[in-house]
Amino acid sequence: MATSNPDVPAAQSVVPVTDPPGLSVIEASKRRAAYRAVEDHFDTSYKYIGIGSGSTVVYVVEAIAAKGREVTLKMVFIPTGDQSKQLIIEAGLPLGSIDSLPPVEVGHTKMDGVSALEVATGLQDLGLKGKRQSLDVAFDGADEIDEELNCIKGGGACLFQEKLVATAAKKFICVADSRKLQPRLLTKWKTIPIEIAPFAAPTIKRILITLGSPDPVIRQGGSAKAGPVVTDNGMWIMDAPFPPLVLASDLRHGDHGDGEHGTWEVHHLGRRLKRIVGVLEVGLFHGRNGFQVASAGEEGGGQKPVAAYFGMENGEVEVRNAAFDKHGSKSRP
């Protein structure tokens, strides 16, 4: 279960934020949460910063840019999609990409004619051992967050790249308004976004129905676009409704949360959906956070945030920190 921040009372704002005139209560709450999250988790020594998608992240970028170019020009900002890419560019922040993170050098290899040929043909790897730089931090929003900081993401159709960036970060920080915080997932946000290959859509829909999703549908573009939404990766989004997802602590004797008794535990459902052929990614962010991955001695980060910041309608910012339990951390990827 997530815990409140023991060091900074949730009712206090670390950075005084003067709201621009005309900003709605909800937008002002998002902005305050974003500034607080940046103040707590952005360090001037960082090199690689992940920037997510959605309306709340606009204020994260604003808060980072306010640190000044003398700070941000030393950094590289990694987007989760075209929207966040444009945010980074418009804010004057140095733009990078998740696939261009440099490798971590482990030792040096002396180059001569033979070794150069072996590198060119893939027989030698320059001693880099396949490891790449991790992001120091990634900031992103969510469509819904439960009390253990499991998230539903993908309302903006960027879930694959969002998960790619989150799992490349040492710590993933979620920023949202108070409406997104619910006891269990699928309380108010009723569907799980799933990014799929278009040709696999009929098969995936049939499988989802057998798993207990009553009416999975392909997301349509609405009045601005005829036909399905096409993601940045050339895929479709299928929105699959399920009953509210339970936590492991909710399960009764004999119910494993694997759908057999009509209940799905977050982690079980996330892993089951990912195994469907034709699914690129699932909009459930579950399992481990970055601190748990590091504790297990593994590379990269986790799907779950280490902290979530919620802008409340009364002007306060509520902070939920992940309750860290390193036991069994290798068993829940």
Task: List residues with catalytic annotation.
Answer: 162
Cα-based distances in Å from 192 to 34, 161, 201: 25, 16, 15
Q: Is residue 11 a contact partner of residue 311, using CB atoms and an 8 Å limit?
A: no
Q: How far apart, in Å, are the Cα atoms of 303 and each of 69, 116, 155, 166?
A: 30, 38, 17, 6
> Which residue, chain included where needed, has tokens 């929207």?
83
Local structure of 58: helix, strand or coil = helix
Which two three-digit tokens encode residue 137?
Answer: 């931090």
Cα angle value 13/38/167 (rounded, 5°): 135
Q: State how beta strands 217-218 and 236-241 pair.
A: antiparallel
Cβ-contact 324, 1 below 8 angstroms? no
What CA–CA distances, in Å, run from 163 to 123, 133, 138, 252, 281? 31, 16, 10, 31, 8
Give the helix/strand (H/E) hosting 308. Answer: strand 307-311
**Side-chain half-sphere of 12: how many Cα atoms within 13 Å?**
8
Structure tokens at 35: 């500034």
Selection from 154, 151, 161 nearest residue 229 by Cα: 154
Q: Based on C-alpha coordinates, what's the Rg of the chain? A: 21
